[in-house]
Structure 1
Amino acid sequence: MDITQMDGIGISLAGFIRSDGVVTATAHLSKEWIGYDLHSRLMRDLESVYYFALDTPAPTLGEAYYGAGREVDNFVYVTVSTGIGAGIMVNGRYFTGGLGWAGGVGHTVIDETSLRRCEGCGNYGCLETFAATQGIIATTQEYIEDNPDSFILALVNDDTTRITPEIVYQAALRGDSTAQQIWMRVGHILGIGLLNLIDIIAPKRIVVGGGISQAGDLLLDPVRQVVQQCAFPPQLRQVEIVQAELGDLSGIFGAAAMVFYDIHVNLPE
């Protein structure tokens, strides 16, 4: 590849990063990243025009251009993995909000009385503590205390430290009722979080991506049920809730799309 013909290089990072490439905050990376000048470091190795974004805008644009957000001007991409975040497309443009950090749905508080503390934001009972990776593991450990015959324990040889969302998914596929109940619980709580987004933003579609989304309808059916029961006004119950199409590649496609988006649509800072 002739690098002189590149328009730029898109970089997506799991932290809050300014358009000049300086990391200002992070919930899921080590604190050493805060204040790190990523742009200057990259320029030492390869001089180019760099485009930086949090790890939610990139897959949002990836799905907008190449995935489940095609031909939909108003949709929300929600990543559910080690954390939970939302990318918001309004009238075909990525919405960042007045302060630049719109979409932090994972740190909205679902249960302020909860004893679950989020290591990222420091709050108790935020959405991530129930529906992100560690939240699902915590819920699973609670459920199997009351259900010691669950197939989940067989899959981990009774070593609860080996529990992962993938293990719970596999147990559910094999008909384990405890695992299925866990996914119903996780999906219900995620649905409450997304319901708040829907009531406020009124998108045409919610696209759910990230590693946890691989659970498919085990996760999404309870989400849809919450929206069907609770969205108001009733017209909002028409919101489509679908799985992301690009999977793990959404961020890669989106990082490239950031360059195109800035040149042709003017990506907001």
Structure 2
Amino acid sequence: MMLNVSSISEYVYCPLKVYLRQSEGHNIQTPAMLRGRMVHEVRRGFEELLKRNLWSINEEMNAKTIFEILMEDVAEFVDKTLLKYCEKESMDPKSAETISRKLKDDFEVESWLMAVKVWKIISNRPKSGSDIADMFFPPVLLEFTIENNELNLRGKIDRIEIMDGYYYPVEVKSGLPPVKGVWKSDSLQIAAYALLMEEEFNREVSVGFIDYMGSCQRRPVFMEVNLREEVLNVLEEMRMMFHEGVVPEMVQNPKKCSKCEYSEICEYSTN
């Protein structure tokens, strides 16, 4: 059975949730899942608009003008995407409007930060818009699908950034990071992508990144031996669960269970 990398973080959160989803065909889409998919799509589009708009920058512009150029067409794109989700995915309009305001506010802050950085760069050393775009957006493979038959593992990496011949996996998360480092589930997920990439590109992957968009932070994950071994151990546990029906003993957690989409059919649910 081919495992999905995305299931690793779910397994760390709750093994039974993964079992119900994949083994018994219970594939429930919650409003939270729909919001997450939509936010991912909007952020991808925002990045493409930034790259396009950077080409219009020149050394005579001040930070405010640069900001205005970076934000060109952004609000319209957000509204158009959210409207599509309301019409085709039956997303609640009030929820969509709340997300729209939050995303627009975030994009304004991020564009201001980028505008100031760009202004400082071109003030010290004039550069063309294309050069600036290359500085902020290195060559990248977006939503790169990858699988390995030996590992029986497949996944879709949010981003693979390529710099000086090195490949870096990047996973984008909409939430907030912990005080230090990254969440355990995120570190295992990015490490699994690193293993797949090493086989695919025949290059060592020494570090990956988690982009926590809730705080506009990028956190590194170093591919240490212990982390690699932990990923392989989790994958083996998941295979045993699916092949032999060996589901790890669950510990009831009211906070987790109350938010789970499988609470009504799970024997461990506290509801």
Q: TM-score, normalised by structure 2?
A: 0.27
Q: TM-score, normalised by structure 1?
A: 0.27
Bigger radius of gyration: 2
Hey, which of these two has a bigger chunk of helix by percent? Answer: 2
Q: Which has the higher contact order (CA 8 A, sep 6+)?
A: 1
